[in-house]
Amino acid sequence: MDKPENKPESNSALPEGTQQPSGGQPEPGEEPIMLSKLFPDAPQDLDALFPDPNMKKLLKEIVETRKKNERFAKKVKSEVATEEEEAE
């Protein structure tokens, strides 16, 4: 049995930066996330393995974060190499 304080009230304010859960449905105008496009080399059908839209969103965010991190690391390496060349 859930305690009443664990249930969010419909008129309660959400913390800044959070959104009201959409019940697992993508927002209108937002195309559904296709995990087969995000992970083309996957040996399994990830869309069938992870049908939950929230999980798909999380996996998409992970892919985007990984790409941002790789770009950042590449930029830092090129800046370090440039500084080393200037020091010589």
Q: Which of 61, 8, 13, 4 is nearest to 35 (CA)?
A: 61
pTM, 2 dp: 0.58
With contact defined as beta carbons under 8 Å apart, do 35 and 50 qualify? yes
Measured distance CA(75)–CA(80) in Å, rounded = 9
Confidence of residue 26 (pLDDT cuts 50, 70, 90): low
User: Which span out of 3-12, 13-22, 26-35, 46-55 was modeled with the highest average pLDDT?
Assistant: 46-55
Burial class (CB in 10 A: 0-12, 13-18, 19+), 57: middle
Going by the DSSP 8-state scheme, the letter that residue 42 receives in this structure is -
With contact defined as beta carbons under 8 Å apart, do 10 and 16 qualify? no
How confident is the prediction for the chain on average, in pLDDT?
78
